[in-house]
Structure 1
Amino acid sequence: FDTTRRDFERERSEDDVGGPILEYGELYGERGEVMYEGQLTRGPDEPHGAGTAYWESGNVKYTGHFNAGKYHGTGTLYWPNGNLKYDGQINENKWHGAGVAYWENGNLIYDGPCKEHKWHGAGSLYWENGKLHYEGQLREGEKHGWGVMYLESGELYYEGQFEEGLEHGAGSLY
């Protein structure tokens, strides 16, 4: 977080394992806008614990848990227009674990697990119009394994094996 000043309320806590002392406060941008409010480590003024980050416009950017200034744990990200972007598990700013992602227009884009910010595991992908695009196995962001793919109109297109995003092996075109 690039900030110019801070204000603290003197609510201090120390975690159970002797971790950093936390205070509640706000971090401000260069024009005085609130960029973050929530728990901060004492000293380097890093978001750590529960908090909310904001876009320069004032819209919420992220709400959830932080670790050493990074999104970490359960959290919710928002597009600059205020629409939901992602809700789920995050590991050091990367989507990692169960989550749901959304197009900027608010429609669902993905529902399933992520690994290092990529779709990974059994999940469902959606076209920007909200219709189902793919349901099945994914690996590192690509269709990989057994799955069913649909056209943007919603019609069934292919059911079968995929490898690195392409139809490959046993399957049926419709």
Structure 2
Amino acid sequence: MSEKPKVPIIDFQPAHMDACVHIMLTNELWQAYGMNSAKAEAFFHSCYTDATATLLVALVDAQPVGFICYYKHGTLYSGGYIRSIGVDPYHQGYGVGEQLMDAAEADIAYHTHDVFLLSSDFNTRAHTFYQRRGYQSIGPLADYIKRGITEIIFWKRFIREGSTG
């Protein structure tokens, strides 16, 4: 199997807004939540302006093809939280999501031992992706974000050298 090419992962800038909104609007996942341009712009604006959040983009040919928004700590006392990750449908399967997760997890692991995320119950492809990365499903949250959709809570504990757990 050939190695997937590395993509630059950089901090989101306002010039990335249109491309990131496009990623959300062309992804079936967010369509289930009634995503539209105004909601997508509000999401990216809130991640970008929140001093406790980090918003990164993955670039191909200097254009965003993926994003990740996360928090380094503060979830369930001290854990990190991956709020959202998205990859342009055309670029899925090329390791972009893995590289975004690698960047977020490395940053979060520097600050805490645990990271959490939510994934829609119907997003089984994402569940497999997270489980391959060492996440455990720890329970459902029915109607948490949208009535009729159950979010599955995923948790991962980072093991540090010299740590017993």
What is the TM-score with the length of structure 1 in the denominator?
A: 0.26
What is the TM-score with the length of structure 2 in the denominator?
A: 0.26
Counting helix residues as a fraction of each chain, which structure ranks higher?
Answer: 2
Question: Larger C-alpha radius of gyration, 1 or 2?
Answer: 1
